[in-house]
A = this chain, B = another copy of it.
Amino acid sequence: MNQENFKDQLKEKGLKVTSQRVAVLEVLDLNRGKHLTTEELYELVKAMSPDIGLATVYRTVQLLLDMNLIDRITLDDGSIRYEIAEEKDKLSGHHHHHLICLDCGDIVSFADDLLENLEDNIRKTTGFEVVDHEVKLYGYCRACSEKHL
């Protein structure tokens, strides 16, 4: 699974398997679907390794991004969140997409390949070679929709 894969990748690059790095990845793994900010991640990791510094969390997040083990989501308001990468996304080479509730702020993921046609079309009409896409849908989740009825 992810954990071992991570350690192996680190060793291959001559990097070290530290308790801090393992803790950060583990928190992200245990919080699948949560889409954490750096600050939230820091707080959760501190519960596990109380002495970790914020700078280490930032450095580890950067490392995990470089290793494609996590994804970054930037919201419309500029806030940035992270989530553990899914195996299937890594294999397909595509990211999944997000539904963002404008009321409660909840973020849920969904898979979609409806944009394949669009990408072909764009290549033909504009010459733009698309290699990745990101879709964000803003609206109201079921719970918030119902709350306001």
Contacts and interface: CB of A to CB of B under 8 A. Distances in A.
Given A78-B78, A110-B122, A126-B99, A135 B138 contact: no
A132 B76 CA distance: 11
Contact of A112 (B75, B99, B118, B129): B118
A72 interface: yes
A129 B114 contact: no
Interface string A95-131: 0000101100000101010110111001000111111
A17 interface: no
Contacts of A117: 114
Chain A interface residue bracket vs B: 35 or more
Nearest to A148: B129
Interface of A: 72, 74-78, 80, 99, 101-102, 108, 110, 112, 114-115, 117-119, 122, 126-142, 145
23 contacts: A74-B75, A74-B76, A74-B77, A99-B128, A101-B128, A114-B114, A114-B117, A115-B137, A119-B137, A127-B141, A128-B137, A128-B142, A129-B139, A129-B140, A129-B141, A129-B142, A129-B145, A130-B137, A132-B139, A133-B138, A134-B135, A134-B137, A135-B135
